[in-house]
Chain A
Amino acid sequence: MTAAVHPDRNFKHWLLSPAIFLLLLIGLFPLFYSLIVSFMRIDMMETDTSFAWLYNYKNLFEDARLWWSLAHTALITAIALPIELLLGLAMAYLFLEKMPGRQIFISLLVLPTIISPIVAGATWRLLFDNKYGPINQIISWFAGERVNALWTINPALVYPAIIFCEIWQWTPFMFLILLAALSNVDKSQTEAAEIDGARFIRTFRYIVLPAIWPVMAIAILIRGLDLFRIFDIIWALTKGGPGTRTETISIYAYSQGFKQFETSYTAAIAFLVVFILTVICTWAIRRMGLAK
């Protein structure tokens, strides 16, 4: 055994201690604190710190708006994630081979991803404006008549609007990661694409996909988690409207906690979310073979 693997004990703990301290302070302690709060009945006006135990948790189950918000979250994730993945993959293949100016194209395509999500939402709200935005204008050109779609109000259009914005912003992220992953795959396998379609699919299925899967799985996991917490884009586009039709779990929790001041109830929602995520992540990590 070499010296490097036998340090003095203090040193290795010193190295970790600031990080662990911060994670405990910001991650674990508040969670513990709010667990206690979730057993009480604190709201805007009342500061009742006696224990009501499962009172708030019982209410969770009767709260239709909460379950709807979870359903909305799941819907957005289920539609946006596969599209981002497939589109990102297609784009990665497009730019896999060298071509002059490739780097410039890639840099330009990455722009949406580095913009703040709240700004992305704001930008799309400008684009979607029924009168002063260019989207209805462009659609009108194709339709040959004046189209007046209310993208942020019409129930049939709000989800397409949100998902479009989401895809616009995050497909480039998928693209970059998958491009990097594909670049690491043996060239002869990916270039076989030129030969014929059937062989391309076979190669992809049995050689390329297994090779890029570890990276792809992580990309899916990251994006999946991000989509589950989607807040900024919706805040800028619809604020959860019309009514509560696009209210996601994050929007709902925010409105309960910081608009309605249902302190204890929001703490309970936060716990429900943590619980759901833990279950999903554990399952996903196992299922995707990410656990080492």
Chain B
Amino acid sequence: MSARPLHRRYGVRLAFRYGIAALLVIVFCFPVYWLFIISFKTPDEIFSFPPVWYPASIQFANYAVLFKDGDAATVGNSLILASVSTFFAMIFGTIAAYSLVRFKTGGENLAVWIISQRMMPPVAIVFPVFLLYVWLGWVDSYGGLILLYTAFSLPYVIWMMRGYIEDIPIELEESALVDGCTRWEVLWKVVLPMARSGLFATAVFTFIFAWNDFIFALVLTRTEVTTYTVQVTHYFGGQSNFWAKIAAMSVLGTIPVFITVAIMQRFLVRGISMGAVKG
């Protein structure tokens, strides 16, 4: 007797949940949609009043201009900077985290000091770094920015990887040592494979941090290594806001991240949760 109303209540609740979920998706995805369609609009459609919600036809002229003028190359710069710095940050960060976890190097104080580096606001870092780079002649170089992104990501990587490494049973490492592995081999053959999903999740976020950076790139790049985030802002102001270029450039810079996240998705949610839980 009571089963049916309960069942119905469940049905209503589910419908309600879907309704809210759909609403949320609309609200959160609409801006992304708007950005994408502007990039496909013709100038007349962009400057039409009232605004047009979907273009009459998909056209790629706004993108063609970016490729013709070479602006699209800035996405390539972002790609190089973000992936190389992620690579180094993952290596240095993971082995450092391993040292902190397994050998308690430096004790709790060192770990806290490292994490506290994450709290520095970029604007406080960027100024001294600018002065340093001027002195060293590293402004507008790939090396300079890669170094900076690597260093800036390190606290995060160490923090996250510490949690993952703690989860690896120490017995596995011990038996590998007994089997005659060197310590490097233990690290390479036991620890890294065990921490694989954590490595991927951390790498995705490290990549995104570097990819999304604006202020470091704004200050430290000129012509050679302009990133796409800086390029986007070049279309603001001046004689006007170049809506078409802003939108097309933004989409170009957003797609690689969407792809990365889509591929890495299964590591992602787990990565966030475990990192935070373990933090």
Q: Which residues of A contact B (CB under 8 A)?
A: 2-5, 7, 11-13, 15-16, 18-20, 22-23, 25-27, 29-31, 33-34, 37, 91, 94-95, 97, 99, 105-112, 114-120, 122-127, 131-134, 137, 168, 171-172, 176-177, 179-181, 183-184, 214-215, 218-219, 225, 228-229, 231-232, 235-236, 249-250, 253-254, 257-258, 263, 266-267, 270-271, 273-274, 277-278, 281, 292
Contacts and interface: CB of A to CB of B under 8 A. Distances in A.
B273 A180 contact: yes
A25 B136 CA distance: 12
B272 A126 contact: no
14 contacts: A5-B104, A26-B147, A108-B29, A117-B212, A122-B246, A168-B27, A180-B272, A180-B274, A180-B276, A180-B277, A215-B277, A225-B119, A236-B233, A278-B119
Nearest to A111: B32
A273 B131 contact: no
Contacts of B51: 132-134, 137
Contact of A33 (B99, B123, B131): B131
A153 to B, nearest CB: 14
Given A16-B106, A116-B212, A126-B246, A23 B151 contact: yes
A225 B118 CA distance: 9
Interface string B206-219: 00100110110001
B121 interface: yes
A116 B53 CA distance: 23
Interface in B160-191: 170, 173-174, 177-178, 183
A278 B131 CA distance: 23
Contacts of A249: 121, 123
A111 B183 contact: no
B21 A95 contact: yes
Contact of B24 (A19, A91, A271): A91
Considering residues B132, B174, B178, which has the most beta carbons from chain A within 10 angstroms of its beta carbon?
A: B132
A153 B132 CA distance: 37
A237 B13 CA distance: 39
B200 interface: no
B142 interface: no
- Nearest 10 interchain pairs by C-beta: A180-B273, A30-B128, A26-B151, A229-B121, A34-B128, A19-B96, A15-B99, A116-B212, A12-B103, A270-B124
Contacts of A236: 233, 236
B14 A99 contact: yes
B155 interface: yes
A78 B177 CA distance: 52
Interface string B251-264: 00110011001100
Contacts of A31: 124-125, 128
B143 to A, nearest CB: 13
A277 B28 contact: no
Contact of A267 (B32, B127, B150, B246): B127
B92 interface: yes
Contact of A250 (B31, B38, B178, B215): B215
A186 B238 CA distance: 57
